[in-house]
Structures are given as structure tokens and as C-alpha cells.
Amino acid sequence: MAQDTLTGSRIRERRVARRMKQADLARQAGISASYLNLIEHNRRRIGGKLLVDIAEILGVEPSALTEGAGAAMIATLREAAIAVPQAAAELDRVDEFAGRFPGWAQLLADGRTRIAALERMVETLNDRLTHDPHLAASLHEMLSTVTAIRSTATILTEPGEVEPEWQKRFLRNIFEDSGRLAETSRALVTFLEADGETVTETGTPQEEMDNALEAEGHHVPDLEQGGSVAQALDRIGQGLSTAGRSLLRQFLNRYAADAAALPADRLADAVTRLGPDPAALAQALGTDPALVMRRLAALPEDLLPEPVGLVICDPSGVLSYRKPLPEFALPRIGAACPLWPLYRALNRPMVIIAQAIAQAGRPGEGVRAEALAVPRGPIAVNADPQYDAHMLLRALPRDQRPQEVQPVGVTCRICPRKACPVRREPSVVAGID
Amino acid sequence: MAGHVLVIEDEPNIIEAISFILSRDGWRVDTHSNGVDAVDVVRAKAPDVVILDVMLPGRSGYDILRDLRDDPATSAVPVLMLTARGQSRDRELAERAGVSRFMTKPFSNSEVLDAVRALIPT
């Protein structure tokens, strides 16, 4: 992997923030001011003892100087720039921005995330107003009743003779219609108030579930101890919409079955010996590697030697589960990059596809991915199996050779790879070959 | 006599009010409140103008209108469509089905009268 090229910029930022002269830092670090100047302008690479020394002088961890902002934050910042193209934000300098001003970058990314959530909520509500059959029927009835009242009242108030018998009929009609209108209005308000309680800011049911699981750290202690899914759902699914709870229930049912099939202590014991290697663990434990991947993602961090991420897609390729890693951004909405091994696995079911991958524009970061597609449900006569694909994500080993790392993207819209054979739509990011 | 209008609407009080204002204006008015046999009623009554609601029991006003336009006996009859749904999509559906005039609820009596008068060839 290419080494991150902005370490010098971060050193300069930290130095300036401490109101320290370049010459003073150079002197304390035992190098010349001109050499430090080259480092600070990213014209000389820095590492080893010198990096550690400079980090110590600046009072920060070395990783704070070498590691840029998380891939997820960069992706969110890119989305923010794309959402307001007239601002002409310098997309090619997004890494530098996030590296130099991490606080402002986080603020902007959080703002973008909130705006996106609110936009989705507006869209959801608008869609509901347009397509909800109950709402449409109620509004139709209200408008019809109002029309009848308006038309009848106009007849009674217009100049011109209306016979007493017609007058009585029209007055009775208005009385009846006003009663209907009151009843329909009351029912509509009840409906909207009840529904409003279930509308969350998170947007789609999938996002509701993702957020609920993220809050739990993807580990459900209740179900590890053989507790009931219903109780776990009540605890975790508070505030979720009906659709969100339904998705969460499906997930928890599978979680409970997985936990019973492969208890956490048994897996943790094997991980201690073999590491979080799904193929080796599956072989040693005599079980399904996809089950091992799901269970690894559900283990508490203190039982793992390194963090793991997991992505699962359904037979249509839509992401149905996501546990992200900082090194690997996952699209919040829309389709993911078709180059991910996750999708290759759908083409080669029951084969574990292992590959080192890195997302374009993220030098110094990457993951090893192990992907596997397994049939959904039991095998049936004359029925084509449907496959769910799993992709376990782990940080790249330190000895990974850069030429063995396959470049991939997050999603086409923010991917800079120009000559991509599977591009779905044009990118708004300056391209790279 | 100004002409013959057939009102196809399932809301009885709207039927009553429209019938009254049209009758007072000199029109002969027939009414019908079911979508299922609405096309047959139009063929049988042969009105000069049809006032047609979109949401009817049994059949949508769009489907009824399409059938009227497909039948040479009724293809030329002017149709004023009434609906509580005023979205562009509904208007487009009505236009594609061959509507003569599209009006959203709540409308005023004078708007209905003006529309019906305008639909009769002089």
C-alpha cells in the first residue's frame, strides 16, 4: 500500500497549533529546519524513530500524525460536497481538509448525516402522503364532503329563490355532511398522531436496524445466554417503526439460532488459537464458515485480537447487514461497489474468496476480505437456491505487498476510478486512472 | 333546454347539489352512482356531457373514460372529470385517458356550470 502522504501536513498543523517555531521543533528533533520544512510539505517521507520523536515533542500519538480521517468520514464529506455542487468544494483536497481540521470536518460530516436523515424523513412522509391508502381515502372523503357542503351552502346563500322543500333538504344535507366531516377529521388526526410516533429520523427500516445494532456494538448478551428474542426485541427495538422492528426480529431470530449453534465461549477459545480466520475456524469447529463470520461479528471486541467488520447482502445484492470497519467505508444508501469480493462470491457460491482490497483515494488503508455466498433456506426439489453473501473484513496485515491489493470503491457516485469496467453512473469526483 | 348532462358520482349530497344548479340553469340531469355499469348507462342515456368522478365504487373513472373513448358511440362525448386528487400524475392519467376537462375538489358551483357550458358545442 502507498504510505499516507499527508503526515507532514499534520505535523505542521500540530506545530502551528502549539505556536511552535519550525526551527525549534527541528532542533529538538535533532534535524535541520530545512529538512523539517521538506517533511512538513510532504516532500520527504517520515517514519521510525524520527516520527516517534516528533510526535512526543508535539504531545500526540504517532498514529495521530500518520493516520488520516476515517474512510467513513471522508465518504460523508464527499457526499456533502456532491449534495451542494454550486459550492464547488475542493473534492481533491478532502483528505487534507479532514486531516488539518478534524473537528470542523467531523462537524460538517455530522451535519451532512443529519441533513440526509431529515431529507429521507421528508421523503418518507411525502411518499406516505401520496401513497398511503388510509390517508388517501380519508383525504378524499374529506374533500368530497367539503365540496358537498360548499356547493350546497352556495346554493342557499346565492341570490335567487330556493323552494322551501329544497331549502330543508339542503340544510339537512349540510348538517349531515358537517357531522361526517368532523368524524373524518377526528379519525385522520388520530391516524396521523399514532403514525407520527413511529416515524424516526433514521429514514429507512434498514437504517433503523443498523443504528440499533450499532448502539449494541452488534453483540446481544440476552441471546448469548439463551434469552428470548421477544425480550431482546423489546429492549433493542424501542422507538423503531413497525417495518424496522420486523427487520430486527428477523435478524435476532438468526442471531439466536447462530448463538445456539456456536456459543461465544467456544468460538472465543478457538479464536485464541487460530485468530479470526473464518476458514480455519470453520474447519477446526466443523461448522459453516458463514456462521463463523456472523459469530465473529457478534463477539465483543475484548474477545477478538483485532476488530472485524461484516457485510451481508441478499440475493439481489442489497446490503442487509453492515458492521463497518474504520478502514473501509460502506455506503449508507444505494448500491455498493460491484468490485467487492462480496459480489464475486454471489457468482461463485460456496467458495471462500479471499482478497486484499482498498478503496480508491484511501492510501494507507485497506482490508482483507473473505467472502462467501451460502444458500438461503433448505434445499428443495426443483427450486433454484437463493444465496446470501457474507464478507468478513479485517485490517490488512503489516506485511501485505501493495501490488497484491485490489483497488475497489465505495459506490460509483463518489468513486474516482475513471476506467472502471463496472461503473454504473458517472462520478462527481476527479478521476484517477 | 340547454342540453342533457349525466352525473356519475357516488357522493349523494354532491349529486344533489350539482343536479340542482344544473337543473336551475336549464339542463336536463340524470345521475348514476356506480362505476361497474357506468359505460352502459352512458351508452343508453346518450348525454351531451358526462360529469365523471374518479373514485367510484366498482370501477375507476379512468377505466370508464378509456372505455368511452374506445367505443365509437361514445368516443366524442365531452367528459368533465372530478377528483379529490389534484396531482400532476392524476391529471396526466386523465389526459391520457381522453378527458375533456379536469377539475379538482373542492370546486365552486360556478366553476362547474362554466365548465359544462364550455363543453357543449354551440
Is A333 within the bounds of a domain? yes
Burial label, A421 (beta-carbon count in 10 A; 0-12, 13-18, 19+): exposed
A154 and B24 within 8 Å at the Cβ level: the answer is: no
- Tell me the pLDDT band of A3, cut-offs 50, 70 and 90: very low
Task: Give the Cα separation of A239 and A251 in Å (integer).
Answer: 17
The stretch A1-7 carries a mean pLDDT of: 56
* A21-24 CB contacts, 8 Å cutoff, 24+ apart: none
Q: Are residues A167 and A104 in the same domain?
A: no
Residues A416 and A312 in one domain: yes
**Is A219 in the same domain as A178?**
no
Residues of chain B contacting residue A151, judged by C-beta atoms under 8 Å apart? 14, 17-18, 21, 106-109, 112
Tell whether A254 is covered by a domain.
yes
Q: Do residues A226 and A255 touch, judged by C-beta distance below 8 A?
A: no
Q: B120: pLDDT confidence band, cut at 50, 70 and 90? A: confident
Residue A2 lies in a domain: no
User: What's the pLDDT score for residue A200?
Assistant: 47
Asked if residues A171 and A156 have their Cβ atoms less than 8 Å apart, the reply is yes
Structure confidence at residue A393 (pLDDT): 95
Residue with the larger pLDDT of the pair A327 and A308: A308
Q: Domain check: are A47 and A107 in the same one?
A: no
Residues A361 and A433 in one domain: yes
Other beta carbons less than 10 A from residue A209's beta carbon: 27
A61 shares its domain with A118: no
Confidence at residue A8, expressed as pLDDT on a 0 to 100 scale:
85
Asked if A324 and A74 count as a contact pair (C-beta separation under 8 A), the reply is no
Check if A153 contacts B (Cβ < 8 Å): no
> Over 80: is that where the pLDDT of A12 sits?
yes
Question: Going by DSSP bridges, is the β-strand pair A405-408/B3-8 parallel, antiparallel, or unpaired?
Answer: unpaired
For residue B1, pLDDT over 70 is answered with: no
Tens digits of residue pLDDT in A415-425: 777 788 888 88
Q: Is the Cβ of A157 closer than 8 Å to some Cβ of chain B?
A: no
> Which residue range(s) make up the domain with B58?
3-119
Domain that holds residue A408: 306-433
Q: Does the pLDDT of residue A126 top 80, yes or no?
A: no
Confirm if B10 and B57 have CB atoms less than 8 A apart: yes
Predicted confidence (pLDDT) per residue in B74-117, tens digit: 999 999 999 887 666 778 888 888 999 999 888 889 999 999 99
Residue A359 and residue A405 in one domain: yes
Q: Per the CB < 8 Å rule, is B55 touching A155?
A: no
- On whether both A182 and A213 belong to a single domain, the answer is no
Task: Work out how many domains chain B is built from and give that number.
Answer: 1
pTM for the complete prediction? Answer: 0.49
pLDDT in tens, A290-307: 999 999 999 998 899 988
Q: What is the mean pLDDT of residues A393-402?
A: 76
| Same domain membership, residue A187 and residue A216 | no
Same domain for A315 and A300? no
As a whole number, the mean pLDDT across chain A is: 84
Cα–Cα distance measured from residue B78 to residue B103, given in angstroms and rounded to the nearest whole number: 14
Find chain A residues with C-beta within 8 A of B51's C-beta. none
CA distance B51 to A174: 22
ipTM exceeding 0.90, yes/no: no
Cβ proximity of A149 and A181 under 8 Å: yes
State which residue of chain A sits closest to B89, comparing Cα positions.
Answer: A130
Are A34 and A144 contained in the same domain? Answer: no
Q: What is the pLDDT of residue B78?
A: 96
Asked whether residue A1 is domain-assigned, the answer is: no
Count of domains for chain A: 6
pLDDT given for residue A254 in this prediction: 95
Give the CATH number, domain containing residue B67.
3.40.50.2300
Task: Tell if the CB–CB gap between A170 and B17 is shorter than 8 Å.
Answer: yes
What does the pLDDT look like over B10-66, one tens digit per residue?
Answer: 989 999 999 999 999 999 999 999 999 999 999 999 999 999 998 888 888 998 999
